[in-house]
Amino acid sequence: MVLRDEVALRAAAQSSAADLAARGVLSHHSLGTPSPLRRYRRCGGTGRRVGEVLGVGPSFDDIWLAWEASASHAAVIDADGWRRFGVAAVELPGGLVLVVLLLGNSALDGVRTEPGWANVTIVAELVAVDGAPPTAARPPLLLGWNGAHLSGPAADAAVAISWYPSAPYVRIQVPFDGDPAWLLVGVGTREEVGGAAADYTDRLLIEAAGE
């Protein structure tokens, strides 16, 4: 599967690479946290999984070969479910380069919100899942809302999802009373929730609605 560049992953990789280079260390603990997922979310990412590999060498090609030869690094790179990537490189003294590669599973791109009266609409482009766009058989779904798992008629009554197989965008409208709301969005069928579809899920925070 061809991975797509993601702005949030790239921004998180760039921030981590700059921090590590400035401190002169190679560590998964950067910017005050060992969690690449937290660094990614600070940059506006919505995916629920992030993998990170680091390296220092004379060139990116040399570092990539070293990753391929390392079982632990290859396991991260070859893990199932990645759809997005972000990479950053910083030149070091002595002709070396430091590279940070982040991998993510987000199925949404260009997420934006449209505030309304007592509701908010999330609009996002759908990224191909397993190399193919969502279909009528495996559509985008709202899987959870403020920590509650949604399924069946209750989920359909709580939210309004507008999406057609030929459209690259999905629109999800949810009630909103001003309190922060967490949404879990995925691609698949409700029967898959808790299984493979969990890997397809994005986590969105809705914080405020307009007038």
- Residue-wise pLDDT tens digits, 75-112: 999 998 788 899 999 999 999 999 999 999 887 777 77
pLDDT in tens, 120-151: 777 777 766 555 556 666 666 666 656 555 55
pLDDT recorded at residue 207: 66
Query: Which of 3.40.630, 2.40.160, 2.60.40, 1.10.10 would CATH assign to domain 108-206?
Result: 2.60.40
CA dihedral (156, 160, 163, 168) positive or negative: negative
Does the fold of domain 108-206 match that of domain 4-104?
no
Of 135 and 52, the one with more pLDDT: 52
Please name the CATH architecture into which domain 4-104 falls: 3-Layer(aba) Sandwich (3.40)
Tell me how far CA of residue 39 lies from CA of 12, 29, 32, in angstroms.
6, 10, 9
